[in-house]
Amino acid sequence: MARPFTPIGQPARIALGLSFFILFFAVWAFFTLGGFVSKTFLADPLSMLRDGYVLITRFDFMTDIGMTVWRVVGGFVIATLVAVPLGIAMGAYKPVEALLEPFVSFARYLPASAFVPLLILWAGIGETQKLLVIFIGSVFQIILMVAGQVGQTRRDLVEAAYTLGANDRGVIRRVLLPANAPGIAEILRLVLGWAWTYVIVAELIGSSSGIGHMIIDSQALLATGKMIFGIITIGVIGLISDLFFKALNRKLFAWTFA
C-alpha cells in the first residue's frame, strides 16, 4: 500500500483509472447478461451499444448532442462573464461583500430545477429558458467560490504593491488577478461539471431536442438501453471537457503544477 500523499507515476495513474472502468462494466455485464436483472429495468452493455448505434445512425442523436453541448457552453459562459467580476469585487472590497454575500449565499441554495416552470412562463420553451437554467445553477456558485479565492490573497503581496506606488486598479490587475487566476480556473472547471446536471433538468421539460429530451422519450418506451447510452454520453463528454480544462490550466498556469 502506498503511504498517504505519496505520488504515483502517470502510467500507474492511467492503469488504475482504466481498471475501475473495466471492473464497473464487468459487474454490470455479469448481472445483466447473467439474467440476475431484468432487461426491462437495466439493459446489458451489448444492448446499450446496439441502441446507441441506432440512435446515432437513424435518429440523428449527434444533433441532440450538439444542442446539449451548445446549451451547456452558452449558459456557462454567460454565468462566468457575470460571476467572475462580481466574485473578484466581493473578495477585494468589503462593502461589496457586505452588500452581496447575504443574497448570493441565499440564492445558491435555490435549486435551478425549481425555476424551470417559472422560466418557461417567462421565456417560453426556447433556448433562452435552457440557458437561464444553467445560468441560475452556476452563477451564484461561481460568485461565492471566486470571492473566497480572492479573499485568501496574501496580504503581504497587496501591501508590497501599495508600497511600490500601485493604485487600487493596479493592485487588482497586477496582484489579485495573477495570484488567483489558477484558483479561479479550477473553480470554473468544477462548476462546469455541475452545469451538465442543470442542462439535463432543463431538457427534461418543454424540449424537443437534446440528450435529456431523448432520455425522457426513451423512458416512455421503457428503452433502458437508450437511456443508459444517453447518460454515458453525458459522462464521456463531461470527462473530455474536464480533461481539456485540466490540460489548459496546466499550460496556462504551469508553475502551480511544478
Mean pLDDT, rounded, for 140-155:
92
Neighbours of 109 (CB within 10 A): 7
Q: So what's the pLDDT on residue 257? A: 65
Q: What is the mean pLDDT of the chain?
A: 89
Q: So what's the pLDDT on residue 250? A: 86
pTM: 0.87
Q: pLDDT by residue (tens digit) across 94-136?
A: 999 999 999 999 999 988 888 888 888 888 878 888 899 999 9
- What's the CA gap between 163 and 95, in Å, rounded? 23
Closest by CA to 171, choosing from 183, 184, 154, is 154
Which amino acid would we find at residue 14?
A: I
Judge contact between 174 and 186, C-beta under 8 A. no
Mean pLDDT, rounded, for 33-41:
87
Which amino acid would we find at residue 115?
A: F
For residue 1, pLDDT over 60 is answered with no
Q: So what's the pLDDT on residue 258? A: 58
Q: So what's the pLDDT on residue 106? A: 94
pLDDT interval class at 165 (50, 70, 90): confident
Mean pLDDT, rounded, for 39-66:
92
For residue 148, give the C-alpha cell.
473566497
What do you get for the CA distance between the two ends of the chain, in Å?
A: 25
The residue with cell 417560453 is: 124
E-assigned strands of 48-147? none
Closest by CA to 191, choosing from 151, 234, 139, 152, is 139
Q: pLDDT by residue (tens digit) across 198-246?
A: 888 888 776 788 898 899 888 888 899 999 999 999 999 988 988 888 8
Q: So what's the pLDDT on residue 221? A: 85
For residue 53, pLDDT over 80 is answered with yes
Q: Which domains, from first to last, does the chain contain?
A: 42-253 (1.10.3720.10)
For residue 115, give the C-alpha cell.
425555476
- What's the CA gap between 214 and 96, in Å, rounded? 43
Judge contact between 205 and 124, C-beta under 8 A. no
